[in-house]
Amino acid sequence: MAVIPGRKGGVYIGDETIEDTSDAWTADNASTAATDADIPTGTSGTSVKIVVPDIGANLLLAHEVISLNISDRDVVRLWVKCSISLTAGQVQLILDDTATGLSPLKLMDIPALSSGTWTRILLDMGDASGLTAVLAVGVKQVADLGAYNLFVKDIQAVSIVDGIKSWNLTAGVETLDSTDFQDGQATNSGRTFISGLSNWSGSFEGYKDAVPLELSFSSTVAIALAASQTAGQAWIGDAYITNITPTAPVDGIVTYSYDFQGTGLLEVASV
């Protein structure tokens, strides 16, 4: 049995939009890179659909010109879907300081994906100090995969919350009592239930190591709860920060704990 230590975990909060996928991208070696109505359940807007012909390996598929300083961010969060199954590293997300996307500063491996399924993923940028003038985001094909379609949506840069030492999450499904009179007529009858809506919430805590987070009154925050730095070992969604509890002991270190309520779908850790 594999044992996963939590020492390299973390909580990531807040987002800066890298690309909202509301416009067509520049197709490089792809056939087209146009907006599409195929989007994840519970989201709005459009995705970018990249139609990839049988072109070979190590080629930039498509890119979009942007202008951002994300040197203070730690990870990239995005939705992705592929018409074929992918193994980790066959396709990469790139960030470039030139508008062509041909000399990327960052090459981040897309993790393994099942075909035809929208998946929200978290990509570690590593040392982001050089990302002060990012001019392009794009997708590169590393392996020769034949012809397929790739969809991307809502690419965001997210920061780790400094000082956090632990997090917990409760995710479940509500049950609805569906017992009727016919059920109740049987001898020693039992109640019957059906599944209702999913619900998820939790908390995280740590030392005061920066400006505390704020309560969420009218808007959600992007949140990712990572068990480690390994791709696939994070729970990803959007949530409201509902409670903040600072603690200042006379003989210890000031700590903060935060409660959150998730909204919408939760991307379950896959590894």
Q: Which residues does 152 contact at the CB level (< 8 Å), separation at least 6? A: 21, 47, 48, 50, 78, 79, 80, 139
Mean pLDDT of the chain: 92
- pLDDT tens by residue, 14-35: 779 999 999 999 999 999 999 9
- pLDDT tens by residue, 180-198: 888 777 767 788 899 998 9
- pLDDT tens by residue, 220-267: 888 999 988 777 788 999 999 999 999 999 988 999 999 999 999 899
**Is the CB of residue 21 less than 8 Å from the CB of residue 46?**
yes
- The three-state secondary structure class of 184 is helix
Most confident of 9-23, 137-151, 257-271: 137-151
The mean per-residue pLDDT over the stretch 57-62 comes to: 96
Single-letter code of the amino acid located at 116 = G
Domains 14-159 and 162-270 share a fold: no
Question: Domain segments of the chain: what residues?
Answer: 14-159, 162-270
- The three-state secondary structure class of 185 is helix
Residue 184 sits at φ, ψ, to 5 deg, of -75, -15
Report the CATH number of the 162-270 domain.
2.40.30
Place of tokens 């990712």: 224
Q: What angle do CA 83, 86, 91 make, to 5 degrees?
A: 100
> Class of 14-159 per CATH?
mainly beta
Place of tokens 């190591």: 209
How far apart (Å, rounded) are the C-alpha atoms in residues 212 and 44? Answer: 30
Single-letter code of the amino acid located at 29 = N
Which pTM does this prediction carry? 0.86
Residue 234 sits at φ, ψ, to 5 deg, of -135, 145
